[in-house]
Amino acid sequence: MTPPLPPILLIEDTPSLQLLYRAALTKSGHGVVTAGTAAEGLELMREAAPQVILLDLVLPDRDGLDLMREMLQLNPSLHVVVMTAHGSINKAVEAMRAGAHEFLVKPFDEARLLNVVANAHKTAQTAPPPKPAPVTAVAPAAIPVNPTVPPAPIGSGFIGSSDAMAHIHATIVSVARSMATVFITGESGTGKELCALAVHGNSPRAAGPFIALNCGAIPQDLLESEVFGHMKGSFTGAISDKPGAATAADGGTLFLDEVCEMAPALQTKLLRFLQTSTVVPVGATRPKKVNVRIVCATNRDPMDAVRRGQFREDLFYRLFVVPIHMPPLRERGNDVIEIAETALARFAQEEGKQFDGLAPEVRALFRRLPWPGNVRQLLNVIRNVAVLHEGGLLTADMLPASLPQQAEAAAIPPPVAPSPQVPQDAPLVLDALLGRPLAEVERMVIEATLARHNGSVPKAARVLELSPSTLYRKIEGWAQR
């Protein structure tokens, strides 16, 4: 007989909500202990030894985020689900970065509550015992970085001991144990998928599947089927049922690469998937529940995509919980040498040859190069050398002829662009704006832009580099005043 799970600790200071959440959890078979203050919650945590805690971030006697940090220091294996009102969603995101398992935005329905609690219990049951580590569960910006001490076994594909990479390693270790969505940014070839693999490999889901899907490489009309699956006969060519990537990743991690290329209609369905943890294959009528951790990546500026109306703002804030920026290779110092030497040894072994490392002039050249293709370009260069040469010391004459030219081009400063001409009527425009409150100036600019585009919010949003939803909120706010 399976032993009963430890009770859930519910810390909520509003009596009506406390009663509502407790009733829903009890009806589902969960044991629940409740507290209305931070002090009571801390005492009950020691007495009841819960695995899962539901924590309101606004408490009468203490900040909920500080309480969560203390609880995680006392017991790193806790799975804390934070609860917050819609207006304080930034606080919830901060909590996720500090080690929370998941967050709930009030008001939420009973199904969402029970699903989050079930996932937290499942993760707690399968997670290995926590190991002592020098990194505490705090926000990534506060993680101490020590390049000489690796924070954890990140994975053999992640090479580099620069300060930037040490900070990324520490962030991965801190976030891997939670369900927080990770949003990886960086230029093409910087290793975003390796970063996603490291998050998966250092998490309790490491034994589960890692499913990668490139949203930019799949035709838009097939993307929904690839993500959520389809039923036989649901469209032309659907000759059998097919599980999508979200179902295939059940119990593991779903990596959505180039997520900003996703069609708007699919963005809506992805947002619902994140909120409900259920998938509805194309042609199906019944949803299916899955337990998936989302990691996504893009080589674009996601905020710019939001401003241009190409990416949903609410989906962006749901995904952009723990951002990790992969720096370009040119900003990683001696990492370029470490990566080149490691790759040379590996490719030489594959080709059955013996190389003796990099010559000093090659090391100096590699440090000077801009590496527009980043790590991917470097690996191609080393592969080229390993295939075309017999071995020995890797000298400059073994490199592709284009590399020294790239170094010379990078050394030439780019031409200075001429200053834009200031319109003759600019002083008159400035005179009309000077002395007015900033909010009034903003409204004048927005209303003038809308008038120029015949009241079209999408067109005005593109010109102003804002999302249409932002403009609609501003217009509604003015109407209510």
Report pLDDT for 180: 86
Q: What's residue 35's pLDDT?
A: 93
Residue whose token pair is 């969560």: 68
Contact 66, 102 (CB under 8 A): no
231 close to 155: Cβ distance less than 8 angstroms: no
The pLDDT assigned to 431 comes to: 60
Cα 213 to Cα 157, 190, 223, 251, 403: the distances in Å are 19, 17, 10, 16, 32
In angstroms, rounded to a whole number, what is the distance separating the alpha carbons of residues 371 and 374?
A: 5
pLDDT of residue 146: 31
pLDDT of 256 reads 93
Give me the residues of the chain with pLDDT under 50, please: 129-156, 412, 419-420, 422, 426
Q: Output the pLDDT for position 303.
A: 87
DSSP-derived 3-state class of residue 243: strand
Task: Please report the pLDDT score of residue 154 as a whole number.
Answer: 45
Q: Where are the beta strands (DSSP E) in 76-150?
A: 79-85, 102-106
253 within 8 A of 292, measured Cβ to Cβ? yes
pLDDT at 132: 36
What are the structure tokens assigned to 393, written together?
């010391």
Q: What pLDDT score does 381 carry?
A: 94
Give CA–CA dist 211/198, Å, rounded. 13
Q: At what angle do helices 89-97 and 64-74 cross, to 10 degrees?
A: 20
pLDDT at 230: 83
How far is residue 373's CA from residue 377's CA, in Å, rounded to a whole number? Answer: 5
How many Å apart are CA 227 and CA 229, to the nearest integer? 6
Tokens of 155: 């994975």
User: Which pLDDT belongs to residue 223?
Assistant: 80
In whole angstroms, how far apart are CA 356 and each of 361, 367, 383? 14, 19, 15
Closest Cα to residue 157, out of 207, 194, 196?
194
What pLDDT is recorded for position 129?
A: 47
Q: How far apart are CA 467 and CA 460, in angstroms?
A: 9
- Give the start-end residues of each E strand in 87-209: 102-106, 182-185
pLDDT at 16: 85
Q: What is the pTM of this model?
A: 0.61
What residue type is assigned to position 17 of the chain? L
Hey, which residues does 289 pair with through a beta bridge? 278
The single-letter DSSP state of residue 86 is G
Other C-beta atoms closer than 10 Å to the C-beta of 437 total 8
- What pLDDT shows up at residue 449? 86
Q: Domains plus CATH for the chain? A: 8-126 (3.40.50.2300), 140-232+240-327 (3.40.50.300), 330-411 (1.10.8.60), 426-480 (1.10.10.60)
What was the pLDDT predicted at 398? 92
Structure tokens at 401: 């002829």
